[in-house]
Amino acid sequence: PRPIFVCGMFRSGSTLAEQLIAGHPAVAAGGELELLPAMIARELLPFPESLAAAPEAKLTQLAAQYRERIAALFPAAACVTDKRPDNFFCIGLIRTLFPDALIVHTTRDALDNCLSVYFLHLDPRMSYALDLMDTGHFYRQYRRLMAHWKELYGAAIVDFDYDRFVRAPEATGSALFEALGLEWDPRFLEFPRSGRAVRTASVWQVREPLYRHSSGRARHYAPELAPLREYLADLLPPAAVTAEHR
């Protein structure tokens, strides 16, 4: 199967994007597969430094092992999604191992995104999520890294904007499918779908017909978010930057 990697900042719509893409009959939803992290821990430490000296034969073998594993898990699928948000750290490795891979980068309003991460209480190992400004710093570094990957790989990375999707689902969905080379059908918007397991923090959202409540949530916390808004000002649309002065 051809892998489709769905990644981006945590709480940026990756589960929604995967469920949308997996509506296509040729696509299986892999969910948050542990294959890449396990491969890195087993074969590629220290990462990413090891890639500079990794023999081509070894990289070819690792790519084959990954494909064999997803083929065993999803034997009938032409494409399989691998939806780990933090795979954005590994886009260089992904492009090295799988030149044909499709990469969907999920995006969302920066303030909404940071607020959602802060409210959710992610894994304790993600200690940045315990503080809004630390979350903002992580977000800024994530954006820097994504700018680097896009400079290197360009059209191989397809953006999926959560906020645009909830405003205009058919236009946004059809554009995504066109970029992925998949045929679009408006019925893919019929959420939820029976038989699709969702095992992430977004499970309740994708069980609703279309989850809109989180888009624009930050406006309810404008005074509390003023320091974060100032810190991320260059990453926000003008309306968001000036909102606190209205």
Whether 130 maps to a domain, the answer reads yes
- What is the pLDDT at residue 214? 67
Residue 157 has pLDDT above 90, yes or no: yes
Residue 8 has pLDDT above 80, yes or no: yes
Residue 82 has pLDDT above 80, yes or no: yes
Rounded to an integer, the average pLDDT of 132-140 is: 98
Q: Give me the number of domains the chain comprises.
A: 1
**Coil, strand or helix at 135:** helix
Whether 220 maps to a domain, the answer reads no
- What is the pLDDT at residue 238? 79
Q: What is the mean pLDDT of the chain?
A: 90
pLDDT tens per residue across span 187-241: 999 876 544 454 454 544 544 545 566 688 899 999 999 999 999 999 998 765 5
Whether 129 maps to a domain, the answer reads yes
- What is the pLDDT at residue 18? 97
pLDDT tens per residue across span 45-74: 999 999 999 999 999 999 999 999 999 999
Cis ω before 223 (30° cut-off from 0): no
Residue 136 structure tokens: 């903002």
Whether 191 maps to a domain, the answer reads yes
Rounded to an integer, the average pLDDT of 100-105 is: 95
Show the domain range for 96: 2-213
Helix segments in 74-131, DSSP class H? 91-97, 110-120
Residue 185 has pLDDT above 60, yes or no: yes
CATH assignment of the domain containing 168: 3.40.50.300
Q: Which residue do the tokens 């890294």 mark?
A: 145
75 vs 120, higher pLDDT: 75
Residue 58 structure tokens: 């070894």
Whether 182 maps to a domain, the answer reads yes
Rounded to an integer, the average pLDDT of 31-44 is: 97
CB-CB contact of 199 with 103 (8 Å): no
Handedness of CA 34, 38, 44, 46 (dihedral sign): positive
Please choose, from the candidates 90, 79, 17, 5, the residue with its C-alpha nearest in 3D space to the C-alpha of residue 47.
90
Please choose, from the candidates 245, 8, 204, the residue with its C-alpha nearest in 3D space to the C-alpha of residue 113.
8
- Distance of alpha carbon 84 from alpha carbon 68, whole angstroms: 19
Amino acid, res. 50 = S
Residues 6+ apart with CB under 8 A from 214: 112, 116, 205
- Identity of the highest mean pLDDT range in 114-123, 152-161, 230-239: 152-161
Helix segments in 53-154, DSSP class H? 56-73, 91-97, 110-120, 132-153
- Distance of alpha carbon 214 from alpha carbon 201, whole angstroms: 14
Whether 23 maps to a domain, the answer reads yes
- What is the pLDDT at residue 212? 63
Whether 189 maps to a domain, the answer reads yes
Whether 240 maps to a domain, the answer reads no
CB-CB contact of 173 with 188 (8 Å): yes
- What is the pLDDT at residue 245? 46
204 vs 24, higher pLDDT: 24
Residue 43 has pLDDT above 70, yes or no: yes
